Amino acid sequence: MAVVVRGTQRTDLALVDTLGGFGVATIHEAQGRTGLLASRLRPIFRPVSVAGNALTCEVAPGDNWSIHVAVEQARAGDILVVTPTSPCDDGYFGDLLATSLVAHGVRALVIDAGVRDVAQLTAMGFPVWSKTISAQGTVKETPANVQTPIVCAGAYIRPGDVIVADDDGVVVVRREDAEVVRAACQGREENEHDKRVRLAAGELGLDMYDMRGKLKDRGLRYVEGTS
Amino acid sequence: MAVVVRGTQRTDLALVDTLGGFGVATIHEAQGRTGLLASRLRPIFRPVSVAGNALTCEVAPGDNWSIHVAVEQARAGDILVVTPTSPCDDGYFGDLLATSLVAHGVRALVIDAGVRDVAQLTAMGFPVWSKTISAQGTVKETPANVQTPIVCAGAYIRPGDVIVADDDGVVVVRREDAEVVRAACQGREENEHDKRVRLAAGELGLDMYDMRGKLKDRGLRYVEGTS
Amino acid sequence: MAVVVRGTQRTDLALVDTLGGFGVATIHEAQGRTGLLASRLRPIFRPVSVAGNALTCEVAPGDNWSIHVAVEQARAGDILVVTPTSPCDDGYFGDLLATSLVAHGVRALVIDAGVRDVAQLTAMGFPVWSKTISAQGTVKETPANVQTPIVCAGAYIRPGDVIVADDDGVVVVRREDAEVVRAACQGREENEHDKRVRLAAGELGLDMYDMRGKLKDRGLRYVEGTS
Amino acid sequence: MAVVVRGTQRTDLALVDTLGGFGVATIHEAQGRTGLLASRLRPIFRPVSVAGNALTCEVAPGDNWSIHVAVEQARAGDILVVTPTSPCDDGYFGDLLATSLVAHGVRALVIDAGVRDVAQLTAMGFPVWSKTISAQGTVKETPANVQTPIVCAGAYIRPGDVIVADDDGVVVVRREDAEVVRAACQGREENEHDKRVRLAAGELGLDMYDMRGKLKDRGLRYVEGTS
Amino acid sequence: MAVVVRGTQRTDLALVDTLGGFGVATIHEAQGRTGLLASRLRPIFRPVSVAGNALTCEVAPGDNWSIHVAVEQARAGDILVVTPTSPCDDGYFGDLLATSLVAHGVRALVIDAGVRDVAQLTAMGFPVWSKTISAQGTVKETPANVQTPIVCAGAYIRPGDVIVADDDGVVVVRREDAEVVRAACQGREENEHDKRVRLAAGELGLDMYDMRGKLKDRGLRYVEGTS
Amino acid sequence: MAVVVRGTQRTDLALVDTLGGFGVATIHEAQGRTGLLASRLRPIFRPVSVAGNALTCEVAPGDNWSIHVAVEQARAGDILVVTPTSPCDDGYFGDLLATSLVAHGVRALVIDAGVRDVAQLTAMGFPVWSKTISAQGTVKETPANVQTPIVCAGAYIRPGDVIVADDDGVVVVRREDAEVVRAACQGREENEHDKRVRLAAGELGLDMYDMRGKLKDRGLRYVEGTS
């Protein structure tokens, strides 16, 4: 009963790339602390940073058949996002599939399962965020959905939503919110630069953020240690 | 009641080294997707790749005494494979034991427990696959079996079976199957080279593997997205 | 009801630095195999090694407010040690707070929770041992205790106790034991050098440590393998 | 920025109750093996079985304020479904909140976090599926969304979707699919009764499902053991 | 280097028993949300509730020798609290040790490790909170400290501190705080009774706790759903 | 490439039943503390106790086809032991399969994966030890080995080895050792009865086992607490 949805929308790549420049932590804050994938997804090499349109793909446990199906739906600038229909740590993905994805312009893989050939993937510079690394391969017996909305590592992701991933993790921005989030990130970043300069000069966050009164209201008190 | 078995068989090192060249993922596939150790065993540095004869060793929880016993049974080309008799994350192994193993020709350590001195082990270039890293040392009160068949990280391993380990994990090849597995790996590798070239040129796996008919039979269908 | 204790004692930094030179595994052994923090705390980059006085800080789950409070209590040579009042994997700490800590002479962070901005922290060379990496930020609603005794990753830590951390993990030395532990480490290190030379020359630990009789007493026996 | 959506739709309770009669495993199969919440959610007492309309609620880590907000939105026949915005094991819910929910006709709680007062909840017969049990209470500082779509334990759930929960776990049925799923369950159940009778009489599944040919095609072969 | 401290202080049993009547969740709140042991400690049968003086005991990994030492230090009304010096899931404790503890007036066991003979312990009605259940026994080779301060499941516990444990978990009350905590619990409990009556009558927590204004201040807003 | 081995040996059921009477913990000790399956396998109801001959079965991840194959190989007195070829938590087994197994004389299921229909299995009184409970069903696409030696939950198990399982866990006794282990258990049990009587009378283990001298030799010392 698996379905492949063709011709789904993407977000404009210029906007995607601008979002990618802000990094995961800033985007997550800028969109009200939503959209983060679970922190069990970790990059196979660091440092790394990438952004792209979500190319979504479900896989059966121990079965990577639908990844092959997904490749045909790829467009330049996509990030393949794979979620198993039940939890699985098998190595669904290796250097052959990466070679195929690169040939179709896919920028990275995000997978809530395992990958293998990580030495080759690292040498290729192909970015991967995965739950684990495992040499355990998979079969090709059961197709699953491609380019439908999925839940991956606890986040709801639709085809063409924006994926940004870096050393800190992976975040999804809803396609229709991308422009608003970009603007919010811009504001945060300008603000952060100023703060960094002041903190580097030794100014306390307690003063810079004017926290002392509020802390007192919440019951914080100071006592002297016994020496 | 612990036993040390002396004079166990090894696999010919030329064959071991040939197997090592194929890598863990290829060997695992070539022998019918068997023999993989659990993916919780990870290398302390990457990239890394090694092959050798299994020198098997059990240890009591929090007690590394039998590792000292195992060193005497080592021969050049061995890989020490250590499994605790009940789960334990202590740091059983550090740079002193590594120095001793290297002096006796041991190529690497595979341990379903913790290790320590990882900065020094990394500087020495001594390969280790472990479940964790922990500074928690061990005592020497209870000996355990050396060079008997063991279960390590879910795999059944006998002395002289072939161990291959790389960035993807660890696999065991039964001594009597080593030659057959080598031949099967050889075939897979030639086959993979051709595939890689075609995929890099943009050919789809769906076509290269002739999957479309089978996918249709299994119920996959295509629909158009609403834009 | 949160409290900040001002003017707590520190350990002399010359002594702290000497302890730091021995490394975590040696210190842990030298003080009777006590004081180790749980091995779930891992450095964000390796190799790394640091020592300092504990600047202790509790945080509410998902709330990093008291880290801002702690900065004001910092002195040169401190290591900030943070523990959540209930388990939490959020990213409590990023490059802005690190910039502020560096400006006040803090040498490192040890936190039984998550951190973010790890690419920037790595580029800054600011050492961090954490339970996880997560872009999930925190709020500032609930202050918690600063410079009180805490339990962090299973270890009891008081302000001014000595923290030593390296690739193997993190250990605490009680302020009043620092000198005795230093002396014990010194003895162990001299002893280890001699052992390393003998083991590198191929001498067996079984002989060097005179273990054969004791092993026989504990029931170890040798049998010949069937070839 | 938290939002409460008032006046969301529900599924007809007669249909909800009919679905509840089939049980989680049957529903999950009948809707194409989708909609299951992660198996880490376990009931606090067994046996237990319940169905209702999802009353969705996000909570900040360590903060149960929005559960109080959710109570006001409850209608008879609802099941409260709670998900933290970052993973948290605190005890968000106890017997006072259960008393309040019962007074407003809520049938059960599903929460991807911890609960407490489980002795009292069990004595009340109030069904709860939770990730853990913990006496660690929560604060009331940060409101979060109520009656918006959420991801709970890996499943996407909207207000008024049908929740069915029993000893095997928790499943969500999309509101618009409820009638179709009911029909599919009906068919499966009739079919299962017949199978059970035949299997109890000793008929082999191999024969009843006519599997022998297909197994042979997939390479299964029979050999005689050596006795 | 293990030590047994004899003649440590206890808390008055009348006070201990009064505290036991309040339950873990109430005590935890009453003492400022401190003192809770990690929620991985679970009772082997439910419902269950007990209070007593902490009789503290460290054990080496896989070695229960010091539990035998601890029995001699027991007094009527004690609860044995056991922590391994490194994490271990072995079954340290079974029905023989329980028989011995009961003979010396010990009321329960709290252990951050495994236990066995749980069918017999349940039949005896001997309360146990443990991290796991395991038939894996232990050796008697390495003594460890008895009646010294310990960290157990993340909490700092001294001999004679009050331990209260029930279906929700385990909490420690510092000996010197016991009377103050008792008074605070008393106040909370009276307050809770009134709340329960009002909530059962359908009054909303939003009104009873006067939360609406504060929620609005924190940005909560209400919108109408689209039907 | 899956294989079914027919006509494998069993252990005499009278001997199996006698072993079953001793319980898992006693057997584990009696055979030198070997043969225990990992403690993650837990019974779905308690108390429970059973013994039988291992009927071994591998399954692909998310695929229970070979369980259907295994039923045909069952004989009265067997216990079905199932291990996935890569880790999987799906619900491989429910009440229909249990009905079939009971019809062929199978006494219980041991599975290093998930099961479902646990309310019905409990009502039937069919004993199951599993890694988890999950309503997530499985497909029937990939057969795997039946009645070959397997590794299940870390233990090496051959067809016809004796499986004993109770509230404490699961242990395997090698077929050829069954008689020797029975005799050793007999001895331990008689010995334990006497100990239990003496401990219940208040005799200390320190005296009964004559431990005081050995403890002193290992460095245990007694000090007086400060009151």
Residue A191 has a pLDDT of 86
Let me know: does F61 contact F86? Beta carbons within 8 Å: yes
Enumerate the residues of chain A whose CB falls inside 8 A of the CB of residue B204. Answer: 68, 71-72, 100
Q: How much is the mean pLDDT over chain E?
A: 96
Cβ neighbours for F23, distance < 8 A, ≥ 6 positions apart? F49, F164, F166, F168
Q: Which of B28, B31, B34 to mutate: most F Cβ within 10 Å? A: B34
Distance CA E102, CA B108 (A): 50
Q: Residue-wise pLDDT tens for chain D (227 aa)? A: 799 999 999 999 999 999 999 999 999 999 989 999 999 999 999 999 999 999 999 999 999 999 999 999 999 999 999 999 999 999 999 999 999 999 999 999 999 999 999 999 999 999 999 999 999 999 999 999 999 999 999 999 999 999 999 999 999 999 999 999 999 999 998 888 899 999 999 999 999 999 999 999 999 999 998 75
Smallest Cβ–Cβ distance between A103 and the set B195, B200, B221 belongs to: B200
Closest to A69 measured CA to CA, from A2, A127, A128: A2
As a whole number, mean pLDDT of residues E21-28 equals: 96
Q: Which of F59, F88, F92, F131 to mutate: most A Cβ within 10 Å? A: F88
Enumerate the residues of chain E whose CB falls inside 8 A of the CB of residue D103. Answer: 199-202
Indicate if the pLDDT at residue E227 is higher than 80.
no
Indicate if the pLDDT at residue A75 is higher than 80.
yes
Enumerate the residues of chain D whose CB falls inside 8 A of the CB of residue E222. Answer: 3-6
Indicate if the pLDDT at residue F85 is higher than 90.
yes
pLDDT band per the 50, 70, 90 thresholds, residue E226 = confident
Enumerate the residues of chain F whose CB falls inside 8 A of the CB of residue A89. Answer: 86-87
Residue E1 has a pLDDT of 74
Q: How much is the mean pLDDT over chain C?
A: 96
Smallest Cβ–Cβ distance between C151 and the set E33, E86, E154 belongs to: E154
Enumerate the residues of chain B whose CB falls inside 8 A of the CB of residue E141. Answer: 139, 141-142
| Closest Cα in chain B, distance from residue E68 (Å) | 18
Task: Tell me the three state secondary structure of residue A102.
Answer: helix
Q: Which of C86, C112, C136 to mutate: most D Cβ within 10 Å? A: C86
Distance CA B109, CA B37 (A): 14
Indicate if the pLDDT at residue E18 is higher than 80.
yes
Distance CA A35, CA F33 (A): 49
- The first and second tokens of residue A96, run together, are 């052959």
Tell me whether residues D65 and E225 touch, CB distance under 8 A.
no
- The first and second tokens of residue D38, run together, are 């992660």
Cβ neighbours for B208, distance < 8 A, ≥ 6 positions apart? B195, B198, B199
Low-confidence residues of chain C: pLDDT under 70: 227
Strand partners, E53: E78, E162
The length of chain C, given as a count of residues: 227
Residue D226 has a pLDDT of 74
Cβ neighbours for E48, distance < 8 A, ≥ 6 positions apart? E127, E165, E166, E167
Buried b (16+ CB within 10 A) or exposed e, F184-202: bbeeeeeeeeebeebbeee
Enumerate the residues of chain A whose CB falls inside 8 A of the CB of residue C105. Answer: none
Tell me whether residues C62 and D87 touch, CB distance under 8 A.
no
| Maximum pairwise Cα distance, chain C | 72
As a whole number, mean pLDDT of residues B124-151 equals: 96
Distance CA F16, CA F20 (A): 6
As a whole number, mean pLDDT of residues A86-112 equals: 97
Closest to E64 measured CA to CA, from E130, E5, E163: E130
| Closest Cα in chain A, distance from residue F172 (Å) | 27
Other Cβ atoms closer than 10 A to A209: 13
- E and A touching (3 or more beta-carbon pairs closer than 8 Å): no
Region of D158 please: left (phi>0), alpha (psi -120 to 50) or beta: beta
Tell me whether residues D85 and A34 touch, CB distance under 8 A.
yes
Distance CA B192, CA F58 (A): 29
Tell me whether residues D154 and A154 touch, CB distance under 8 A.
yes
Closest to A146 measured CA to CA, from A67, A92, A88: A67
Residue B227 has a pLDDT of 55
Tell me whether residues E151 and C149 touch, CB distance under 8 A.
no
Q: DSSP readout, E121-139?
A: HHHHT--EEEEEE-----B
- The first and second tokens of residue F70, run together, are 């295994």
State CA F81 to chain mean position distance. 9
Residue A227 has a pLDDT of 55
Nearest chain D residue (CA) to A40: D87
Task: Tell me the three state secondary structure of residue B89.
Answer: coil
Residue position matching structure tokens 């866990």: F169
Q: How much is the mean pLDDT over chain F?
A: 96
Smallest Cβ–Cβ distance between F39 and the set E1, E132, E137 belongs to: E132
Tell me whether residues D225 and F8 touch, CB distance under 8 A.
yes
pLDDT band per the 50, 70, 90 thresholds, residue F174 = very high
Task: Tell me the three state secondary structure of residue F90.
Answer: coil
Closest to E143 measured CA to CA, from F80, C32, F124, D85: C32
Tell me whether residues C87 and D86 touch, CB distance under 8 A.
no
Tell me whether residues D9 and E225 touch, CB distance under 8 A.
yes
* pLDDT tens-digit map of C188-212: 988 888 999 999 999 999 999 999 9
Residue A221 has a pLDDT of 95
Residue C227 has a pLDDT of 55
Chains in contact with A, where contact requires at least 3 CB pairs less than 8 Å apart: B, C, D, F
Tell me whether residues B141 and E136 touch, CB distance under 8 A.
no
Distance CA A222, CA C7 (A): 11
pLDDT band per the 50, 70, 90 thresholds, residue A1 = confident
As a whole number, mean pLDDT of residues F67-76 equals: 98
State CA E36 to chain mean position distance. 7
Other Cβ atoms closer than 10 A to D191: 10
Is residue C165 within a helix (H) or strand (E), and if so which, with residue range? Answer: strand C162-166
- The first and second tokens of residue F182, run together, are 């029975």
Strand partners, F49: F166
Distance CA D57, CA F180 (A): 60
Let me know: does D178 contact D54? Beta carbons within 8 Å: no
Q: DSSP readout, E45-114?
A: SSS-EEEEEEEEEEE-TTB-HHHHHHHHT--TTEEEEEEESS-B-SB---HHHHHHHHHTT--EEEEEEE
State CA E222 to chain mean position distance. 42
As a whole number, mean pLDDT of residues A167-190 equals: 96
Let me know: does F88 contact F174? Beta carbons within 8 Å: no
- D and B touching (3 or more beta-carbon pairs closer than 8 Å): no
Smallest Cβ–Cβ distance between A88 and the set F61, F139, F142 belongs to: F61
Nearest chain F residue (CA) to B87: F38
Residue D185 has a pLDDT of 96
Nearest chain F residue (CA) to D25: F135
Let me know: does A227 contact C11? Beta carbons within 8 Å: no
- E and C touching (3 or more beta-carbon pairs closer than 8 Å): yes
Distance CA C71, CA C105 (A): 10
Closest to A152 measured CA to CA, from A75, A62, A56, A88: A56
- Around B18, how many Cα atoms within 13 Å sit in the side-chain half-sphere? 15
Distance CA F5, CA E160 (A): 61
Tell me whether residues F5 and D211 touch, CB distance under 8 A.
no
* pLDDT tens-digit map of E28-39: 999 989 999 999
Residue D121 has a pLDDT of 98
Tell me whether residues F85 and B34 touch, CB distance under 8 A.
yes
Tell me, what's the ipTM? 0.95
Is residue C207 within a helix (H) or strand (E), and if so which, with residue range? Answer: helix C205-208
Enumerate the residues of chain F whose CB falls inside 8 A of the CB of residue B112. Answer: none
* pLDDT tens-digit map of B47-99: 999 999 999 999 999 999 999 999 999 999 999 999 999 999 999 999 999 99
Nearest chain C residue (CA) to B8: C225
Residue E191 has a pLDDT of 86
Other Cβ atoms closer than 10 A to A40: 17
Enumerate the residues of chain B whose CB falls inside 8 A of the CB of residue C200. Answer: 99-100, 102-103
Residue D63 has a pLDDT of 96
Task: Tell me the three state secondary structure of residue A115.
Answer: strand
Residue B190 has a pLDDT of 86
* pLDDT tens-digit map of E138-196: 999 999 999 999 999 999 999 999 999 999 999 999 999 999 999 999 999 888 889 99
Distance CA B209, CA F174 (A): 45
| Closest Cα in chain C, distance from residue B48 (Å) | 17
* pLDDT tens-digit map of C77-107: 999 999 999 999 999 999 999 999 999 999 9
Chains in contact with F, where contact requires at least 3 CB pairs less than 8 Å apart: A, B, D, E
Distance CA A103, CA A106 (A): 8
Let me know: does E59 contact E181? Beta carbons within 8 Å: no
Tell me whether residues C88 and D142 touch, CB distance under 8 A.
no
Task: Tell me the three state secondary structure of residue D42.
Answer: strand
| Closest Cα in chain F, distance from residue D41 (Å) | 10
Smallest Cβ–Cβ distance between D151 and the set A32, A85, A154 belongs to: A154
How far apart, in Å, do the first and last CA atoms of chain F sit? Answer: 72
Residue D44 has a pLDDT of 98
| Closest Cα in chain E, distance from residue C125 (Å) | 30
Tell me whether residues B219 and A103 touch, CB distance under 8 A.
no
Distance CA F91, CA C43 (A): 38
Residue contacts between A and F (CB atoms, under 8 Å): 40
